Amino acid sequence: MSYTTLDQVAALFPTFKRGIPQQNPSDTYIQNYIDDVAGEIDAALQRRFGEAISNTPFSTWVGGLSTDAQNLLEKINRYGTAAQLAAVFESLGFTSLGKLAREYAEDYRALLLELNGWDSKGEPKPQGGIYDHLFDSEARTETPRPLLGGVAGADQPDDITPADMGQSNVFGKFDKRGT
């Protein structure tokens, strides 16, 4: 299952004319690249979000993704295909298209690393990828909200602990046992 189309890939290269035999890669050839990249994307999704997919058939899970997630997958598929076309264009003498395709290759690499939750060195990022929440609603997400709650104690007299916090003074600021 592919996420992009021949037309969307061709649109990345404004001077590229499809369907000219012996001068350009054929649509069949480009479709093979689209399918190859879609396979890489599927492998990353199944590895990374296996828990979210669980017992649901993969195609059903992908079909149920949000529009934002579908758009992201289409972009990754389109840029990955364009990246694979770089060598083809250069071998045909289209150096400007080859250069443009290499730029798409850099974008594709960055997008695929984020989809996998990896940093630029290919190592897992502790906080996960920036797209994780698009594919798994229970993914750990960085938040600007405080993760821990509590009372520091400096705002209270030494003989009072807020009862509503369920705390005791035993291990508090004024504990004299260790000194």
Do residues 165 and 106 make contact, with C-beta atoms less than 8 angstroms apart? no
- Mean pLDDT computed over 145-149: 67
**77 close to 29: Cβ distance less than 8 angstroms:** no
Give the 3-state secondary structure of residue 176.
Answer: coil
Which amino acid appears at position 52 of this protein? A
Give the global pTM: 0.77
Lowest mean pLDDT among 47-56, 85-94, 130-139: 85-94
The pLDDT assigned to 4 comes to 97
Q: Please say whether the dihedral angle defined by the alpha carbons of residues 124, 4, 50 and 36, taken in this order, is positive or negative.
A: negative
Q: How far apart are CA 90 and CA 96, in angstroms?
A: 8
- What are the boundaries of each domain within the chain? 6-135
Which are the contacts of 87, defined by CB distance < 8 A and separation ≥ 6?
98
Task: Identify the pLDDT of residue 59.
Answer: 95
Q: How far apart are CA 159 and CA 177, in angstroms?
A: 16
Cα 172 from Cα 142, distance rounded (Å):
30
Q: Is the dihedral of CA 9, 11, 12, 15 positive or negative?
A: positive
d(CA 78, CA 61): 21
Output the average pLDDT for the chain: 85
DSSP 121-155: TSPBPTT--TTHHHH-TTS----SS-S-----STT
3-state secondary structure of 21: coil
The pLDDT value recorded for residue 67 is: 97
